Amino acid sequence: MKRVYVNEKWCLGCHLCEYHCAFAGTNGKDMARSLKDIKINPKIKIEEKDGVSFAVSCRHCHEPLCVKGCITGALSVSGGVITIDHNRCVSCYTCILSCPYGAISPSDDGAVQKCELCVKTSKGTPACVEGCPNGAIVFEERG
Amino acid sequence: MAVNFLYPDYEVARNYDRCISCRACERQCANEVHEYLEDSNKMVCDDAKCVNCHRCVSLCPTRALKIVKSNNTYKENQNWTGKTINELYRQANSGGVLLSSMGNPENYPVYFDKILINASQVTNPSIDPLREPMETKVFLGAKPQDIERNEKGQIVNNLPPQISLSMPIMFSAMSYGSISYNAHESLARAAEKLGILYNTGEGGLHEDFYRYGKNTIVQVASGRFGVHPEYLNSGVAVEIKIGQGAKPGIGGHLPGAKIVGDISRTRMIPERSDAISPAPHHDIYSIEDLRQLVFSLKEATDYKKPVIVKIAAVHNVAAIASGIARSGADIIAIDGFRGGTGAAPTRIRDHVGIPIELALAGVDKRLRDEGIRGNVSLVIGGSIRSSADIVKAVALGADCVYIATSALLALGCHLCRSCHGGKCNWGIATQVPELVKRLNPDIGYKRLVNLLTAWQHEIMEMMGGMGINSIESLRGNRLMLRGVGLNEKELEILGIKHAGEGL
Amino acid sequence: MKYVIIGNSAAGIGTVEGIRQVDKDGEITVISNEPHHTYSRPLISYLLLGKVTEEKMKYRSDDFYEKNKARFIHAAANEIDAKTKQVVLDNGERVNFDKLLVATGSSAFVPPFEGLALVKDKFTFMSLDDAHKLNDALAPNKKVLIIGAGLIGLKCAEGILKRVAHITVIDLAPRILSSILDDEGAKVVQSHIESKGIEFKLSGGVKTFEANAAILDNGQKIDFDILVLAVGVRPNTALLKDIAYIDRGIAVNGKSETSAPYIYAAGDCTQTYDVSSGQNKIMALLPNAYMQGECAGLNMAGGEKNFNKAIPMNAIGFFGLHVVTAGNYSGDTYFKADGNNYKRLFYSDNKLNGYILIGNVEKAGIYTSLIRERTPLDSIDFALVCEKPGLMAFTKEDRMAKLS
Amino acid sequence: MLREGQIRIPSGCAISGMINKSGKRISGEAIIKSISVMHDRSNGLGGGFAAYGIYPEYKNYYALHIFYDSVLVKKECEEFLERHFDIINLSKIPTRKIKEITDEPLIWRYFVTPLQTKLASSQLDEREFVTKCVFRVNTEIKGSYVFSSGKNMGVFKAVGFPEDVGRFYKLEEYEGWCFTAHGRYPTNTPGWWGGAHPFALLDYSVVHNGEISSYDANRRAIEMYDYKCTLLTDTEVITYIIDYLHRKKGLTLNEVASVIAAPFWKTIENMKPEERDTHEYLRMMFSAQLINGPFSILVGFEGGVMALNDRLKLRSMVVGEKDDTVYIASEEAAIRIIEPNLDNIWAPKGGQPVIVCLNGGDA
């Protein structure tokens, strides 16, 4: 299955992935209109310190602790992609407690949010991958 | 001091309707042009620091930025232009030589743009490269006078070492130091993938890149940096650099600030010491000295590597080339006055040397007149911008072209001509780690491969149009060229007819 | 192969899913003493709150049993006949098994209060049926007394607050959520809950009940219309009595095996190894229950699985204030508090033992993972991770391994 | 109007040739008949023949065929010839007055042998000496043009349709063991006889159909080696290349063919190692002699004839055999008209030379 992989060697810390992620979430046509005067809450987030930076988003684990721990069944695996059903999430944050990558965060609508590889927002390549100017985020099949 | 003040040449135009204050511009500008004001959630910029490299423009996710030419002006004067005045002010202030980078930007004729290419109609067929074989393979190297046969009468291979190229294009010399590790890696990997060569330049060869030896030309220049036997034998050819198109007649200077870590080790000079390449090779004061160096290098490489001698295109280039052809050199490389550089005195870059088209035509003719054109290969460079330039260069008589500026553009260079500042925002002409990492060789090498694959395809299309299916039939085939808007003398030097003249 | 699963909650469902990862065809029978489609027990307070509907409480989709080719039997299991490998149901039916899973969960513990029999509207708060009964009793003019300021009691309080006149919560312990919070953390949460109008009486128990009042140890009398008993829970281990080793809960190993052959157990009825404290414990938590069940299922169906990373952990929220805790609270502490944001980390012997996060719970999983994996703290930038949980604290190699 | 040598004139054409491997001599009538079938492939602006074995009585002498614009030039040229050669015989070449051929120059034939003193002092081999002399006449003595210079062979050419040219030169009265013929379709209207084909140097004669796209590359390369392209025609440069490779560099005709119509690199890669090495070598060594663009050529030489197509076979050419006679022509009809009952007929592949030698001979 194709997953998003990051390589900190090439991450520039430009944070564009976060903006492209946030924009993809709006389903808007123009980033300038969609994100103007908005504090973004992306599903991929940059960690940075002392010149090192990298993006972190859901790894779509084979053994997803978040899905196994989800008390409502809102998190589920579909075709390898871990998705969240916002209607069923009660914001207990068990998944936030469980995720060893820190890749799940509260969303603006009360549920939690996580990277769903843009399966719900766009076709093909996730927005963060498309938006990364340096190939630090790739979408590919690995062993 | 007011008299010091120079109004910025370029201004950053920010469309605040589109700016979402993502701060990508701020994070990506090594010149610290952009700044985020926390209080007002607003980006501001200082135009004076902008070098117009377009990094911010390219990365802005909302297209909120553009760079515009300042319309601040002095009183109009065709003689004392704003540029001239500003340069004078800068020198009055600093007392120093003006420095520039990349190729000559001034308004001299570009002969390639005044030459047109032929195509077949009716009397012979054009060839479709998608249906028929179309050969762009090139061999470079000296050729013996005669064939030899063994006792059975079979031809024996008496050719000196040859370089094999999939197309008549090579990446010309750019040293590790003047450009980044990642730029070098991109070039080396692209050369390998494409079946062509790249050139170490005068900075030695980083240990990581010995594995690309089959696609490497190692350069020996006047500073002899990084030259040792293993180095000389690591590539497929050795190039003696006598001169460079951007700065004929002068040497090079890589400031000590850039001589750090791997670069110091690769160049075999102490960290932080300036790397100064003398203007001449101090063991070459004459053509016979060159012959000695050529053969020294051949001895050092067991006569297994062709030796290239690279010179800048200067007024007497044809006679110099003739001398080189007789010096034992296998390949002559000529660099025209528009060739790029990581740093050169502005006056030298902009006023010394001659256009490569004229130099090429003159050298090719001279070598043919002397009957020795077949003995050596001829590589030319100095602002080859497209496949059309290559077709024209080959038709004028080149075996192959060197490209560098085009390659850097493919890697992201936006020709801001600020390489000498060392803060290349595209990760090319810099050694600052956080800037170097901006050039991901995985992307870089693919873009180079794309570019040359596209060019090769275009070359094939143009060759096919002329009814030629092998590049050697284009070489020196000047009847395939016509000049437009050139005077008799220019046509004569180029050895071509004017458009409208028949065969 | 015949699999029989007693219990239809997280552990039971985990077992079904575990079996089906390995064995697509074996016969699965799920026995539940509740008539409902599998539902999420922790959601009963949200049901009263109106945040979920019964439909949305379903832990798995309607076609779960069908999709997993599992037979569902609504009956209570009265007895396990280990010799004949049969489960005897309350209707007399005997169900054969090759492999059996016991996931009987736990029941509310009701201490023998004096006068409790006099109280008419008294409820426990463990199951959907409990919630239904309580729901029917709620009315805007009624006063509620909740015995127990633990997770169940307080979630119940949150769930019903807007639907009753007043709530008082009493607990023997001097702080609320005494099993998962320290004193200071408890105060933060308590004052937040108090600000919503709930009254606490701590450090005191009920001496005696009257029909509509409780007399506390200190003599204070608290009137109520509705009594909720949330003192604690006890694992349901009776079925395996005399069959398998039972300590406080049914003892299981990392493969979810009991001491009896062919019989596995998972969930709240079991007692397992807590890697954070090194002790065997009952860890009645939904994530553990599921994972234990899944592990049992995999092993029952012939797979290889060892669930050996169980730790106590809780994620819970009250009126928008989130509390996330994990592990055990021993060792040195790192502490930081700022308003409603509260963080305390417990570490010793180069390992993180546990943590309490209140308010900002961002990336809490990083800490959980440090506890679960027993990561040596000198292999990471511990100072950084205390300040700001993230992968940045790991070495470059570890980050590479995690992210690519 | 500019003529050959002043301007480059590409042209389409017809070619035909025949050779008797036993060396049996036949009349020139057949080749006229053959080329006349392909009348429409010419446009009346040039035709010609090369005939081998026609001067057995003078077979040890170079037969120089020369056009003169005037008697004055003739005198000048003859003085030059006398200074360099022993002239054994000289005569006007017999022609027949016909209305289709007009404006003929003076056409003379000389059987010569180099003066030994001159040859010795030139330090050249005999053939190189002759070549140099031919170039000097053609470039320095304006109005005179040596259009044939081999031994026991001769070229006959003129402005006109080839069949008329044949009648004009009374070709039926010559007997040879090999003939080639050419009908020309130039794309302008030159009036100069020297521009007609075959083009010849020493024993090499070339008739050619096609327009080569590598012309200037080939010309500029060959001119480095003391050749002077005075006509600026494809045939001229092809002849020089063949002379250079075969005579000067000592390549066999097969090797010559794999230089001028080189196999593609892809083909070479798949050859057996030894063959591959040779072809690689030839392409690298003689890259400037690769001839590109469409052509079919017939190369007459001392002991035979070679037919060759460009490597893409962009021009038609068929080969027929009957007993020990081999026929080669642009069109099959041109062979069938003179030999309807062929043993064998085929179209050679592009770049595949067909070399026919006199029995016992070697290319």
pLDDT at D187 over 70: no
**B110 confidence band (pLDDT: 50, 70, 90):** very high
Task: Give B35→chain A minimum CA distance, Å.
Answer: 14
Q: How many domains does chain C have?
A: 3
Amino acid at B166: S
pLDDT attached to residue D8: 67
Structure tokens at C45: 């307070």
For the domain D11-54+152-357, what is the CATH superfamily, name and number? Aminohydrolase, N-terminal nucleophile (Ntn) domain (3.60.20.10)
What digits encode the pLDDT tens for the residues D215-271? 999 999 999 998 988 888 888 999 999 999 999 999 999 999 999 999 999 999 999
pLDDT attached to residue D231: 80
pLDDT at A24 over 60: yes
Residue C307 in any domain: the answer is no
Residue predicted with more confidence, B259 or C95: C95
Catalytic positions of D, written as ranges: 13
Q: How far apart are the first and last CA of chain D?
A: 41
Residues B378 and B399 sit within 8 Å (Cβ to Cβ): yes
Listed residue (B384, B402, B312, B310) closest to B348, CA to CA = B312
CA D201 to CA D204: how far, in whole Å? 5
- Does B486 contact chain A (CB < 8 Å)? no
Residues C244, C215 within the same domain = no
The chains in contact with chain D, meaning 3 or more Cβ pairs closer than 8 Å, are B
What digits encode the pLDDT tens for the residues B310-330? 999 999 999 999 999 999 999
The proportion of chain D whose per-residue pLDDT surpasses 70, expressed as a percent, equals: 95
What part of B 41-100 touches A (C-beta under 8 Å)? 41, 58-59, 61-64
- Classify residue C50 as left (phi > 0), alpha (psi -120 to 50) or beta: left
What digits encode the pLDDT tens for the residues B193-232? 999 999 999 989 999 999 999 999 999 999 999 999 999 9
| ipTM score | 0.87
Residues C124, C217 within the same domain = yes
Give the domain range for residue C216. Answer: 109-232
Coil/strand/helix, residue C314: strand
The pairing of strands B307-312 and B331-335 is parallel
Residues C130, C99 within the same domain = no
pLDDT attached to residue C330: 94
**D363 confidence band (pLDDT: 50, 70, 90):** low
Q: Alpha carbon of C324 to those of B126, C373, C389: distances in Å? A: 76, 18, 14
Query: Could you state, in order of their start, the residue ranges of all structural domains in chain D?
Result: 11-54+152-357
pLDDT attached to residue D191: 63
Residues C218, C256 within the same domain = no
| Per-position DSSP letters for C199-226, written without gaps between them | EEE-S--EEEEETTEEEETTS-EEE-SE
What digits encode the pLDDT tens for the residues B227-271? 999 999 999 999 999 999 999 999 888 878 788 888 899 999 999
Query: How many CA atoms are closer than 13 Å to the CA of B27, on its beta-carbon side?
Result: 17
Q: For the residues C80-86, what does the mean pLDDT come to?
A: 94
- Does B20 contact chain A (CB < 8 Å)? yes
- Does C322 contact chain A (CB < 8 Å)? yes
Q: For the residues D83-104, what does the mean pLDDT come to?
A: 94
Residues C71, C185 within the same domain = no
Report the residue count for chain B.
503
3-state helix, strand, coil in chain B (%, to 5): 35, 15, 45
Closest alpha carbon within chain A to B26: A14
The chains in contact with chain C, meaning 3 or more Cβ pairs closer than 8 Å, are A
pLDDT attached to residue D46: 87
Residues C58, C99 within the same domain = yes
Residue C205 in any domain: the answer is yes
**Hey, are the CB atoms on A72 and C287 less than 8 Å from each other?**
no
Residues D239 and D43 sit within 8 Å (Cβ to Cβ): no
Residues D294 and D310 sit within 8 Å (Cβ to Cβ): yes
Residues B43 and B36 sit within 8 Å (Cβ to Cβ): yes
Average pLDDT, chain C: 94
Q: For the residues D271-280, what does the mean pLDDT come to?
A: 94
For residue C392, list chain A residues with Cβ-Cβ distance below 8 A: 47-49, 52, 54
Task: Give B96→chain A minimum CA distance, Å.
Answer: 35
pLDDT attached to residue D2: 63
Phi, psi of C352 (to 5 degrees): -85, 130
What digits encode the pLDDT tens for the residues C40-68? 999 999 999 999 999 999 999 999 999 99
Residues C200, C124 within the same domain = yes
Q: Alpha carbon of A31 to those of A23, A45, B20, B187, C59: distances in Å? A: 6, 18, 8, 35, 38
pLDDT attached to residue B10: 93
Residues C132, C85 within the same domain = no
Q: For the residues A86-112, what does the mean pLDDT come to?
A: 93
pLDDT attached to residue D9: 62
What digits encode the pLDDT tens for the residues C334-392? 999 998 899 999 999 999 999 999 999 999 999 999 999 999 999 999 999 999 999 99
Domains of chain A: 1-57+118-143 (3.30.70.20), 61-114 (3.30.70.20)
Residues C76, C129 within the same domain = no
Residues B384 and B338 sit within 8 Å (Cβ to Cβ): no
Residues C286, C357 within the same domain = no
What digits encode the pLDDT tens for the residues B394-406? 999 999 999 999 9
- Does A88 contact chain B (CB < 8 Å)? no
The chains in contact with chain A, meaning 3 or more Cβ pairs closer than 8 Å, are B, C
Q: What is the 3 state secondary structure string of chain D?
A: CCCECCECCCEEEEEEEEEECCCCCEECHHHHHHHHHCHHHCCCCCEEEEEECCCHHHCCCEEEEEEECCHHHHHHHHHHHHHHEEEEEEEECCCCCCCCCCCCCEEEEEEEEECHHHHHHHCCCHHHHHHHHHHHHHHHCCCEEEEECCECEEEEEECCCHHHHHHHCCHHHCEECEEEEEEEEECCCCCCHHHCCCEEECCEEEEEEECCCCHHHHHHHHHHHCCCCCCCCHHHHHHHHHHHHHHHCCCCHHHHHHHHCCCCHHHHHCCCHHHHHHHHHHHHHCHHHCCCCCEEEEEEECCEEEEEECCCCCCCCEEEEECCEEEEECCHHHHHCCCCCCCEEECCCCCCCEEEECCCCCC
pLDDT attached to residue D10: 60
pLDDT at D189 over 80: no
Residues C324 and A97 sit within 8 Å (Cβ to Cβ): yes
What digits encode the pLDDT tens for the residues C251-285? 999 999 999 999 999 999 999 999 999 999 999 89
**C184 confidence band (pLDDT: 50, 70, 90):** very high
Structure tokens at B160: 């000196």
Which of A5, A72, A94 minimises the CB distance to C403? Answer: A5
Residue C309 in any domain: the answer is no
**C137 confidence band (pLDDT: 50, 70, 90):** very high
**Hey, are the CB atoms on C40 and A48 less than 8 Å from each other?**
no
- Edge to edge, the sheet with strand C143-147 lists C122-123, C226-229, C143-147, C166-170, C198-201
Residues C224, C194 within the same domain = yes
Report the residue count for chain A.
143
pLDDT attached to residue D188: 57
pLDDT at D190 over 70: no
| Per-position DSSP letters for B18-78, written without gaps between them | T-----HHHHH-TT--EEEETTTTEEEE-GGG-----HHHHH-TT--EEEEE-----S--S
Domains of chain B: 2-96 (3.30.70.20), 138-498 (3.20.20.70)
**Hey, are the CB atoms on B368 and D220 less than 8 Å from each other?**
yes
What digits encode the pLDDT tens for the residues D304-336? 999 999 998 989 999 999 999 999 999 999 999
Output the domain CATH number for residue C244: 3.50.50.60
pLDDT at D1 over 60: no
* Cα angle B419-B423-B426, degrees, rounded to a multiple of 5: 80
**Hey, are the CB atoms on D288 and B472 less than 8 Å from each other?**
yes
**Hey, are the CB atoms on C56 and A68 less than 8 Å from each other?**
no
Query: How many CA atoms are closer than 13 Å to the CA of B259, on its beta-carbon side?
Result: 20
**D12 confidence band (pLDDT: 50, 70, 90):** low
pLDDT attached to residue D210: 84
Q: What is the 3 state secondary structure string of B343-407?
A: CEEHHHHHHCCCCHHHHHHHHHHHHHHCCCHHHCEEEEECCCCCHHHHHHHHHHCCCEEEECHHH
CA D263 to CA B456: how far, in whole Å? 21
Name the pTM for this structure: 0.90
Please identify which residue in the block is written with the tokens 């809950």. C193
CA C275 to CA C258: how far, in whole Å? 19
For residue B180, list chain A residues with Cβ-Cβ distance below 8 A: none
A 10 A CB-CB count for D44 gives: 17
Q: How far apart are the first and last CA of chain C?
A: 40
pLDDT at B389 over 70: yes
Task: Give C205→chain A minimum CA distance, Å.
Answer: 30
Task: Give B200→chain A minimum CA distance, Å.
Answer: 24
What digits encode the pLDDT tens for the residues A27-76? 889 999 999 999 999 999 999 999 899 999 999 999 999 999 999 999 99
pLDDT at D180 over 60: yes
**Cβ burial, residue C392 (10 Å; 0-12/13-18/19+):** buried
Residues C180, C212 within the same domain = yes
pLDDT at B1 over 80: no
**D4 confidence band (pLDDT: 50, 70, 90):** low
Structure tokens at C239: 């079925």
**D359 confidence band (pLDDT: 50, 70, 90):** confident
Coil/strand/helix, residue A80: coil
Query: How many CA atoms are closer than 13 Å to the CA of D277, on its beta-carbon side?
Result: 8
